[in-house]
């Protein structure tokens, strides 16, 4: 039987695994699904359609599944709720709002660490292995790929995408897309390649130099979006050790809907534009 504190309020529709722990003053007021090994420490509130996978830990004041902070959303609208994978840590005060449609939930993958007072707006898609420091704000529909690090009190505008292994510095803000393997700091200000993240991912020196070439081609050579992607795709055809990473960069640029965060050293006329 789940270990449920006497002061917790649990909706009879909830599906709770046998070894789940639900601490004092928690509230589950909907058809939540809670997987094995998950722990709600206390004063956690799950509202509506919320799915939690295995071995998640939710600290006090975490709230999941409440209505989007949107003037356009109507409480009567159907929605897909919130879906959270396995082994995530949600520290004190994390808030995650449910989706605005029935097509796809606000979704968090596996092995993420969300520190205190992180906010994920409606329809956010957060992949695996990300770290969001205290106070990070992710606007509705933003998309954060695997292995991303977001610093404290950083802000991500609605519909922005952060590519894999990218990093957004503390107290920074972006309103455009941050490509994979890149770091940004300040207001819409891309500063460097995320060399530390690439090394930790196992990329060797030769591969790192090739990705550095791709970064320079994209941001520092005065290319247009189209010509930069063409140059990257030519290098991919040579099948070097970093070919897959360069292809990932090229694909990201092609798919960008908000344009790319400009490099700090790039003049206005040379900024990559869609």
- Write out the E strands in 9-109: 9-10, 15-16, 21-22, 27-29, 33-34, 39-40, 45-47, 50-52, 57-58, 63-66, 82-84, 89-90, 95-97, 106-108
- Does residue 175 sit within a domain? no
pLDDT at residue 225 greater than cutoff 90:
no
Write down which residue in 124, 141, 158 finishes a domain.
Answer: 141
- Does residue 166 sit within a domain? no
- Does residue 184 sit within a domain? no
Query: Within this chain, do residues 221 and 135 fall inside the same structural domain, yes or no?
Result: no
Give tens-digit pLDDT for 179-201.
Answer: 999 999 999 999 999 999 999 99
Q: pLDDT band at 266, cuts 50/70/90?
A: low
Q: Which H or E run includes 200?
A: helix 195-200
Q: Which domain holds residue 241?
A: 196-270
Say what the pTM is: 0.94
Write down which residue in 141, 157, 188 finishes a domain.
Answer: 141
Give tens-digit pLDDT for 35-55.
Answer: 999 999 999 999 999 999 999
Query: Within this chain, do residues 133 and 204 fall inside the same structural domain, yes or no?
Result: no
| Pair type for strands 182-184 and 161-162 | unpaired
Residue 112: give its domain's CATH number.
2.160.10.10
Domain count, the chain: 2
Mean pLDDT check: name the lowest of 38-42, 49-53, 67-71, 115-119.
67-71
pLDDT of residue 240: 75
- Does residue 165 sit within a domain? no
pLDDT at residue 273 greater than cutoff 80:
no
- Does residue 183 sit within a domain? no
């Amino acid at each position: 039987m789940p270990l449920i504190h006497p002061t917790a309020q649990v909706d009879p529709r909830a599906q709770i695994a046998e070894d789940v722990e639900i601490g004092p003053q928690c509230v589950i007021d909907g058809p939540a699904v809670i997987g094995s090994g998950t722990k709600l420490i206390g004063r956690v509130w799950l509202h509506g359609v919320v799915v939690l996978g295995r071995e998640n830990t939710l600290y006090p004041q975490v709230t999941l599944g409440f209505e989007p902070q949107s003037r356009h959303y109507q409480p009567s609208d159907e929605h897909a709720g919130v879906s959270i994978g396995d082994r995530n840590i949600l520290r004190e005060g994390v808030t995650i709002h449910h989706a605005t449609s029935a097509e796809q939930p606000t979704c968090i993958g596996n092995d993420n660490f969300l520190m205190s007072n992180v906010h994920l707006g409606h329809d956010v898609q957060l992949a695996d292995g990300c770290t969001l420091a205290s106070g990070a704000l992710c606007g509705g529909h933003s998309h954060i790929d695997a292995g991303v690090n977001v610093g404290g009190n950083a802000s991500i505008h609605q519909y922005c995408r952060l590519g894999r292994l990218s990093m957004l510095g503390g107290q920074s803000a972006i309103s455009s897309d941050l490509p994979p393997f890149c770091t940004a700091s300040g207001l819409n200000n891309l500063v460097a390649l995320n060399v530390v993240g690439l090394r930790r991912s196992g990329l060797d020196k030769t591969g790192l130099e090739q990705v550095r070439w791709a970064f320079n081609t994209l941001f520092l050579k005065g290319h247009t979006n189209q010509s930069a992607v063409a140059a990257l795709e030519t290098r991919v055809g040579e099948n070097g050790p970093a070919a897959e990473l360069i292809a990932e960069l090229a694909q990201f640029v092609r798919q960008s809907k908000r344009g790319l965060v400009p490099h700090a050293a790039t003049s206005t006329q040379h900024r990559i534009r869609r």
